[in-house]
Structure 1
């Protein structure tokens, strides 16, 4: 039986539209760097910006430049995210059903924890989650299992009663490394092939289907 649910945020719980793409392009442009194309940016959504930016940049970037680029991205992103971010259809009903069944719900995200908290409150779903973990609370980021491991230990949760739900291969890799079940969320996935090729325990096309998984 699954009693503990770990959710990714972007493209799993909420659709942030083109916020990440817009903010990334503007940040790169502002620093006179080669601007990545939309598909490249979308492919890296799910891991922290300071990691993905170094991977997608054409020019070599020092730690100082990475920090400046990341800060610029976060500044722009904060200006556009509220207008572009909305819950996927069926998410609220799914969360309500799980909570009514006395399940424990968590969010493990590549966002900073305070930003994640603000996003969840903006969407009026923060109250459904027992705890949240952003990249700033762990040493190693997705696809490392640190975020899930932190919650497993903190709340003495059983691995065989736990499941990670996400739209990207990084989420599935994280769950597999942590030793919990995994669920691929197809409704928000940018790269369905890479998600399915990771062979998650479950693959669902609608949020409500998560409720009936056992």
Structure 2
């Protein structure tokens, strides 16, 4: 029986694609580049904002990454102002989380989004202190797929990694769970397709939050 569920943020518990698409497009616009469409933003995110900026610049034609350092500063400021832009919970996720909480399952969020923005985003949708732990990028914790954040969360819950179930929507998430010794759940409503998730052989693949509830019955 799993005693904790640890969730990725973007593309897993909250649909944040509009906020990131809007912010990276505004950033690229500062250098005269065209907006980044949603489809490409979905491909660029998942490995932290530095990789998002790098991938967006390369896609826009800055092959030497001449604007990289400046773009990082601009994106951080822009995203701070727009991180709640059109964010919303995925269908069925609030119900799943409330059910797990009622069963005494420890709930955590582990994300490559900057920690302060992660807390702000999660609390805006689910309220303050709904999750038992939120860990975002920063404070010396290596970004996913390094397992450090997942293992730290298990330690804070006083649980073995094998007692934790890790949810995510990208290959980065599947690697994170595997690297931490946790069973993984690939969710298909996020930013990547089922084929990407299947390649990493998660314990479960679900297309709606209700499909995992039987595990906790």
Please, what TM-score do these two structures have when normalized by structure 2? 0.87
For 1:39 and 1:57, the matched residues in 2 are separated by 16
Gaps of 5+ in 1: none
After superposition, give the CA deviation of every residue in 1:44-75 in whole Å (9 maximum; x if it has no partner).
2211111332244323236xx53431232233
Matched, 1:11 2:15: no
Query: Where does 1:80-119 land on structure 2 (aligned, <5 Å)?
Result: 80-119=82-121
What's the CA shift string for 1:69-92, capped at 9, x where partnerless? 123223333444424101111111
* Contact 2:171 2:200 survives alignment (8 Å): yes
Is the 8 Å Cα contact of residues 96 and 128 (structure 1) preserved in structure 2? Answer: no
Aligned residue in 2 for 1:190: 192
> Mean alpha-carbon deviation: is it higher for 12-21 or for 106-115?
12-21
Q: SS of the counterpart of 1:20?
A: helix
The CA distance in 2 between the partners of 1:193 and 1:199, in whole Å, is: 10
After superposition, where does 1:125-204 map in structure 2 within 5 Å?
125-204=127-206
Tell me, yes or no, if the aligned pair for 1:43 and 1:191 is still in contact at 8 Å: no
Q: CA RMSD in A?
A: 2.1
Provide the TM-score with structure 1 as the length reference: 0.88
SS at match of 2:119: helix
User: 48, 58, 65: which one pairs with 1:61?
Assistant: 65
Matched-pair contact (CA < 8 Å) for 1:50–1:67: no
Which secondary structure state, in structure 2, belongs to the residue aligned with residue 42 of structure 1? helix
Q: CA deviation at 1:210?
A: 2.5
Q: Give 5+ residue unaligned stretches, structure 2.
A: none
Q: Secondary structure in 2 aligned to 1:106?
A: strand
Query: Which residue of structure 2 lines up, in the alignment, with residue 120 of structure 1?
Result: 122
> 1:206 maps to which residue?
208
- Partners of 1:191 and 1:126 lie apart in 2 by 31
How far 1:36 moved relative to its partner?
5.2
Specify the alignment match of 1:23 in structure 2.
Answer: 23
Q: After superposing the two structures, state which structure 1 stretch, 45-54 or 177-186, moved more.
A: 45-54
Query: CA separation in 2, counterparts of 1:80 and 1:24?
Result: 10
The CA distance in 1 between the partners of 2:84 and 2:38, in whole Å, is 20
Deviation at 1:176, TM superposition (A): 0.5
